[in-house]
Amino acid sequence: MKTETRLKLKRHECRVPGQATNFTLFALSPRLRLVLCTQSHSIKETVRFGARHAAVGVEKSVMAQVVIENLDKTFKGRKGESIRAVNNLSLSVESGEFFVLVGPSGCGKSTTLRLIAGLEEIDQGTISIEGKVINDVSPKDRDIAMVFQNHALYPHMTVFENIAFGLKLRKCSRAEIEQRVGEAAEILGLKDCLDRKPEALSGGQRQRVAVGRAIVRKPKVFLFDEPLSNLDARMRAQMRQEISKLHARLGSTMIYVTHDQVEAMSMGDRIAVMKEGVVQQAAAPMEVYRHPANMFVAGFIGSPPMNFFRGTLIRDGDGMYFQEGTAPGAVNGFRLRVGNDMAPRLAGHAGEDVVFGIRPENIADKSSDAVNGGTVEAMIEAVEPMGPETYLYANTGAHSFVARLSADCGVEGGRKVTLVFDMSKAHFFDPATEKIMVDN
């Protein structure tokens, strides 16, 4: 017990499904993933035990705080048609994790969040928090706080009263309310606004009040549904940082919904990219960026998005090449040699149609020091100076694409340009399934 105190362990009693023993879960830090031990294990044994189970893949399902398994939700549309908002969704959010659900409008993000909060009824599947299935637990008993896009503050109440509202309903003592609201106001920089009404606040301050209402409840899990989308770009960037700092300070489990891939990339410990109710990929942001599982993810994460070129893999001598496909009657497409690291992994696909993907920053103009490159000639369609860099929109005759060039690249619209594609950063997708075949 002494050791536990020194390490500031958080203890969570829980039962592991299918196991007779009650286990104790310990969180070493907000970002540590939980380790698991019985009462009789030492800390050292505990960590070893956790590591061993992580290695065999048990950690996620046992130690995650929010586990969603095979979740389904279908709505009835106006004409009686079925709208499958969430389709066999399984996810595991770890204790203390900042987990982002990201995807285009209508992909089922908010419905997933509302199912976790208990605001929609589950058709099939289970949601568990700390090992306990909560499907039939009423929303108020789930120990979850949700922050919405429209922060819905009471206009006739002061900031203090708005933040304190939920605590009053729970019949907390005056002293406790003052202490908790004071703490939240301190964390959120609202101490000087406590006597103001919402009309006298900026959009960002109002959003912070909404967050304050959630914080004072000290919930197990925070849910955020597009909380920043009503703010202007500058305020969004600021609030992004503030919510990340808040997460670092509170160390709570947070599940955050957004359609904005910049928010997802910059805030999430892990992100799940959704399309049509299905999770396409769930991983750390840079993993998703560098190794997208399919063309949808590759096109959705990254701005400007990844470029795609349809074509064929061909073997010529001892080299493997990507031959750009062109429309009938069009000029021959470009041909690029596949890098030596990737060629062996594509050996079995010679002669097959593929989609070649490359990110805009992996295309350079010929005068730069690009490495591992193959050259492509294209017509410049548009040039967008962005300040620190320039976006060049060009067309090969068969495909349009965009390159991120240096600010001083000196390119002009209406001309031909020779560009260098860094083939060590190529991605090859199966055109039928759109899944990744090979990347670096």
**SS3 of 161, please?**
helix
- To ligand ATP, the closest distance from the beta carbon of 86 in angstroms equals 7
Residue written as token pair 């708005």: 162
> Quick one: 110 or 390, whose CB is closer to ligand ATP?
110
Site string for ligand ATP, 110-149 (x = CB under 6 A): xx--------------------------------------
> Quick one: 115 or 313, whose CB is closer to ligand ATP?
115
Structure tokens at 190: 């609202």
Distance separating alpha carbons of residues 226 and 206, to the nearest angstrom: 14
> Quick one: 76 or 234, whose CB is closer to ligand ATP?
76
- To ligand ATP, the closest distance from the beta carbon of 101 in angstroms equals 8
Q: For ligand ATP, which stretch binds (CB under 6 A), given 3-11, 109-117, 233-241, 345-353?
A: 109-117
**Burial (CB count within 10 angstroms: exposed 0-12, middle 13-18, buried 19+), residue 266:** middle
> Quick one: 49 or 148, whose CB is closer to ligand ATP?
148
Q: Indicate the pairing of strand 319-324 with strand 253-258.
A: unpaired
- Contact between 331 and 395 under an 8 Å Cβ cutoff? The reply is no
Residue 206's identity, in one-letter code, is R
Q: Indicate the pairing of strand 124-129 with strand 132-133.
A: antiparallel
- To ligand ATP, the closest distance from the beta carbon of 309 in angstroms equals 30
Q: For ligand ATP, which stretch binds (CB under 6 A), given 89-97, 105-113, 283-291, 385-393?
A: 105-113
Q: Indicate the pairing of strand 253-258 with strand 221-225.
A: parallel
> Quick one: 278 or 398, whose CB is closer to ligand ATP?
278
- To ligand ATP, the closest distance from the beta carbon of 73 in angstroms equals 8
Q: Report the site for ligand ATP in 200-259 (rule: CB under 6 A).
A: 259
Phi first, then psi, for residue 169 (nearest 5°) are -60, -35
Structure tokens at 57: 């893949």
Cα–chain center distance at 38 = 34
The reply to whether 275 sits near ligand ATP by the rule CB under 6 A is no
Contacting residue, 34, 50, 64, 109, with ligand ATP by CB under 6 A = 109
**Burial (CB count within 10 angstroms: exposed 0-12, middle 13-18, buried 19+), residue 107:** buried
- Contact between 372 and 422 under an 8 Å Cβ cutoff? The reply is yes
> Quick one: 109 or 270, whose CB is closer to ligand ATP?
109
The reply to whether 265 sits near ligand ATP by the rule CB under 6 A is no
Distance separating alpha carbons of residues 98 and 260, to the nearest angstrom: 16
- To ligand ATP, the closest distance from the beta carbon of 109 in angstroms equals 4
- To ligand ATP, the closest distance from the beta carbon of 77 in angstroms equals 6
Q: What is the CA radius of gyration of the chain?
A: 26
The reply to whether 312 sits near ligand ATP by the rule CB under 6 A is no
Q: For ligand ATP, which stretch binds (CB under 6 A), given 20-28, 77-85, 198-206, 242-250?
A: 77-85
Tell me the number of residues near ligand ATP by CB under 6 A.
13
How many CA atoms are closer than 13 Å to the CA of 408, on its beta-carbon side?
2
Distance separating alpha carbons of residues 231 and 385, to the nearest angstrom: 26
The reply to whether 75 sits near ligand ATP by the rule CB under 6 A is yes
Segments of 206-348 assigned E as strands? 221-225, 253-258, 270-275, 278-283, 307-316, 319-324, 335-337
Q: For ligand ATP, which stretch binds (CB under 6 A), given 101-109, 323-331, 341-349, 415-423?
A: 101-109
CB-based contacts of 233, cutoff 8 Å, min separation 6:
none
Contacting residue, 106, 182, 299, 397, with ligand ATP by CB under 6 A = 106
> Quick one: 127 or 216, whose CB is closer to ligand ATP?
127
The reply to whether 105 sits near ligand ATP by the rule CB under 6 A is yes
Contacting residue, 14, 27, 71, 85, with ligand ATP by CB under 6 A = 85
Give me the residues that bind ligand ATP (CB under 6 A), please: 75, 77, 83, 85, 103, 105-111, 259
